[in-house]
Structure 1
């Protein structure tokens, strides 16, 4: 399994990721899915608790293009970028085809409901429920506990959770114990993208690893996340990838001298 600065990433395509979920459900086995980007890598590096959660996660795919490029740079490439939003669409389509139930939990007020409507428009047969939950710092514990009870009561096969990252992964880990046959996806703010409140950047912007700049044009309040917190870890990531690449270079073996024939 490839790793970036110690963080594991699974070497899978989108189709393979979806197949892993559907095959697991057919066997009565659930799991957890995390889609790391640069900011998640930063949190992973700074938290032993998060590192432990990652080691117990069933599927980790590279959401951020800088991670994909760095994996290529260090010669441990993955087939493609897999965003949480793309997974939400693809897994929901597969769920509709196989009769599995889906729950969208979390998000800003109204986001989960409108995202569910968008998913139904593409897959009218999709069985999808929602539980909106926009957590407030002063009431987070109670709100997450109430949401978790609703998730357990839903008995959904697949749950997409849109909460702040640390809250999201710890909640998923706890729910995994309560619902071992359910797949849990941490999708952050993906509901906004599914329901059209926020646009994805053009593909060329993503390929150039400039999605952060695109996002700052519409969400300047994120300047600290990208410019203060993000830039240092991005620089360290590139240096780490180059160092790993150098360490993986084969050491040339000098050719043995040809024996001198006598006579």
Structure 2
């Protein structure tokens, strides 16, 4: 069996203070398969909201920095990596990764645990998982309360995951709640690949419609989501998207100037 030591180290870049890895779907699947058995392995799927939130929240930034892999889930991060020396960087989107990982893991015997959403969504997600990957092993599920979990509730979730012998724990609590939770319990889940996939539960279950592919490819998924949920999302997109575009442009210009001065 391949170990994580056999895989090449991840490249990437730091975008506005948050490390984003140059990776791919195949690479993420390989890293799940080669995960260490003596410690947890954590995956974050990052977008503009993640990066801009981490600028304001040191605890969130620490949680993202501690991830084993932080993928470019949003197209603006993909474009930034491409401009910074990774021209072939694809988007590595949480819902699509989950859709690939479920069938990929069947012949490998991966056992999956779902943590997040509500019971209705989890019912639909389990049915969808069986359609995508006949024979998939779903060994547990928890629909937590929407409020913050107590330490005793954290203990119970960890105990259930460990008792299930899950290989992959899918966490769909939304950003930043899921990243903070993953960081909080990480040292208690050895051998588990913990995937913070945000809205993947809602999207794969069909509870929430997904933006058309042509919008996603053009980086306009935010517009579709804003159209669907204007009251909840307008502040996020009004401030985060223009702020990210300005700040990442300034950061890139500063780097080029510094590199030019070093060459001289």
Q: Per-residue displacement from partner, 1:175-220 (whole Å, max 9, x unpaired)?
A: 3211211110001111111112223323332232211111111111
Aligned match of 1:261: none
Aligned match of 2:58: 48
- Which of 13, 17, 20 aligns to 1:9? It is 20
Distance 1:238 1:198, change over 3 A: farther
Distance 1:246 1:210, change over 3 A: farther
CA contact (8 A) 2:21 2:70 kept: yes
- Which of 69, 83, 90 aligns to 1:80? It is 90
Distance 1:155 1:68, change over 3 A: same
Residue 205 of structure 1 aligns to a residue whose secondary structure is: helix
| Distance in 1 separating the partners of 2:158 and 2:134 | 27
CA contact (8 A) 1:30 1:183 kept: yes
Which protein is richer in strand relative to its size? 2
CA contact (8 A) 1:102 1:127 kept: yes
- Which of 131, 144, 163 aligns to 1:153? It is 163
- Which of 171, 181, 188 aligns to 2:198? It is 188
| Distance in 1 separating the partners of 2:132 and 2:217 | 27
| Distance apart, 1:65 and its partner CA | 0.5
Residue 52 of structure 1 aligns to a residue whose secondary structure is: helix
- Equivalent runs, 1:42-121 vs 2, <5 Å: 42-77=52-87, 79-121=89-131
Distance 1:234 1:135, change over 3 A: farther
Which ranges of structure 1 fall in alignment gaps of 5 or more residues?
254-263
Aligned match of 2:43: 33
Q: Does 1:233 align with 2:244?
A: yes
Distance 1:155 1:175, change over 3 A: farther
Range moving further from structure 2, 85-94 or 37-46: 85-94
| Distance apart, 1:33 and its partner CA | 0.3
Aligned match of 2:183: 173
| Distance in 2 separating the partners of 1:31 and 1:146 | 20
CA contact (8 A) 1:162 1:186 kept: yes
| Distance apart, 1:251 and its partner CA | 7.3
| Distance in 1 separating the partners of 2:144 and 2:105 | 25
| Distance in 1 separating the partners of 2:254 and 2:131 | 47
| Distance in 2 separating the partners of 1:56 and 1:78 | 25
Report which of the two structures shows the higher radius of gyration computed on alpha carbons. 1
TM-score normalised to the size of structure 2? Answer: 0.84
